[in-house]
Amino acid sequence: MTKKILIFIATYNENQNISDLFYSIIKISPDYDVLIIDDNSTDGTKEILEKLNSAHTCLTVIHRPKKMGVGSAHNAAMIYALKNEYEELVTMDGDFSHSPNTIPLMLDQLKTSDFVIGSRYMKGGKSDYTGYRKWISLVANHVARIILGIKIHECTTSFRGFRVALFNSLNLSAIKSNGYSFFLECVNEINCINVEIAEVPIHFKDRFHGESKIPKTEIFRSMYKLSKLFLSRFYKKQTYLINPAEIKSSCYLCNSQCIVEVSHGNKNNDNYEAEAYRCTSLEHKSKPQVFNCLICDLSFVPESSYPKDIETIYSEVQDLTYLENKKSRKKTFQESLVQISPYLPDKGHLLEVGSYCGFFLESFQKKYPSWDYIGVEPSKWASEYARSQLKINTRTGTLEDNIKELASDYDAVVSWDVLEHLKDPLAFLTQINSIMKQNGVFCFSTLDVDNWFPKLTGKRWPWLMDMHLFYFNSNTTEQFLNRAGFKIIRAERYVHYISIPYLAEKINAILPYGLGSPFYLIRKVLPQHLLVPFSFGDIKLYICVKEY
């Protein structure tokens, strides 16, 4: 019986190479399947791939929405091979620097090895690199061999062969590099498990057409990664991230199974209470499990981890701390009004979804007295406060609960810090679109996980919380909006204002081992009425229009 063999190529702007390379591969054996992941090429590569894909059943093409990195593309290919039950995988560059004629040699070596790499620096190998590129590559591979204890002569080329069964023991979630450092990190991880490793000599040719995609800064990233890998030999942290082989979920947005775990979470029990889901929650000790899709880049909590009765939980939320900090909330909404006002007509109908206690609509009413407005809020306590204390027209329940009773021609809809809480954000956006006028304005705020602040703080990021089910970045947010019929016309930082007492409470809840205690002392010497603006860029405000 013929083995299931997959050949993988990552592409970005390879219009002069990819067609000839594909035909060179399938000429060697008609039994090969070929997977190509393209990182949103802008030179016509996408169109070439689609023509090839329509003509050849052995080819699968995956288009990613942005340039996500060659490392993450290779990681996705490994998971793809595993999920689709291939037996062997060969990966290579898309520019003819790796000769397809070497593929049979690599597959032959896999008969006795779990992993094989094409080597420029073993006996019989050759590289066309000249000048500083030659010496940087040669020295880097030699140093990596010594300090990481790797016996093969090559660590960085992407021309590799795998027995796919290897991925059951190689935890691809633990490999963090998305760029070219991925190849070094991957070899190091393979070297750390008990498998057979081999190399075959290759002639590495400089690309036939086009320019090198390796950024000049990659040298420094690789040096940094090499240093981290060396130090990890002495105090290697145990990873609790789930191997993608064990992940059964598919991506909410693109349905791909090429998923890695980026946060394992640390839930101690399955008891969910409304206290942890209020706006001013200080529940930062419990963290959710979060997956990341290597195809569309969406980060999300798996559906299996959702509270079964999340709508009931939100309906029971009461938040007295929010009322104690109403001055800061009103200041936040006044600033958001300043940001969106240039895009609003002089009069019209406005809907706020997730209106909570009604403070935004109160500010809106004062600034736009000629507008009609209404709020929708799931919390029975918060919606009653808005109606009884502020005289704000507010409907209790979710948007879905109330959509039949709402108008169908709103000039503007706003929704602050809501999207990341929803089980079905695409359906939510589609529902909003359905009740808006053509070219109506939709304004909202949500998380941006690609910002520097969550990357710096990691699991201590304040917004990594059980109540948040989706962790968007600017690209995935745009994908959602485009699917729902919206076009972004402006995106900017969303500013939260926080009181000094609440800031001290928040910091104390986030920091471990009582490190936040000094802030209790600091708050005693600062004016209690002082409102502090916070805007790290990890929460963005989007202003959109309904296109269709």
- Who has greater pLDDT, 153 or 6? 6
Q: What is the DSSP string of 333-345?
A: HHHHHHHHGGGS-
Cβ atoms of residues 334 and 290 within 8 Å: no
Tell me the pTM: 0.90
Residue of higher predicted confidence among 358 and 155: 358
Domains in the chain, CATH or no CATH each: 5-232 (3.90.550.10), 320-546 (3.40.50.150)
Return the closest-CA partner of residue 446 out of 487, 478, 400, 483.
478
Q: What's the confidence (pLDDT) of residue 510?
A: 77
Tokens linked to 39: 């990182």
Mean pLDDT for the chain overall: 90
Three state DSSP letters for 379-445: CHHHHHHHHHHCCCCEEECCHHHHCCCCCCCEEEEEEECCHHHCCCHHHHHHHHHHCEEEEEEEEEE
Q: Pairing between strand 59-63 and 115-119? A: unpaired
Q: Looking at per-residue confidence, does 14 or 235 come out higher?
A: 14
For the stretch 255-280, pLDDT in tens is 999 999 999 988 755 555 778 899 98
pLDDT digits (tens, 9 = 90+) for 340-368: 999 999 999 999 999 999 999 999 999 99
Q: Which residue type sits at 490?
A: R
156: confidence class by pLDDT, cuts 50, 70, 90: confident
| Selection from 45, 96, 119, 131 nearest residue 206 by Cα | 96
Per-residue confidence at 66, pLDDT binned at 50, 70, 90?
very high
DSSP 237: P
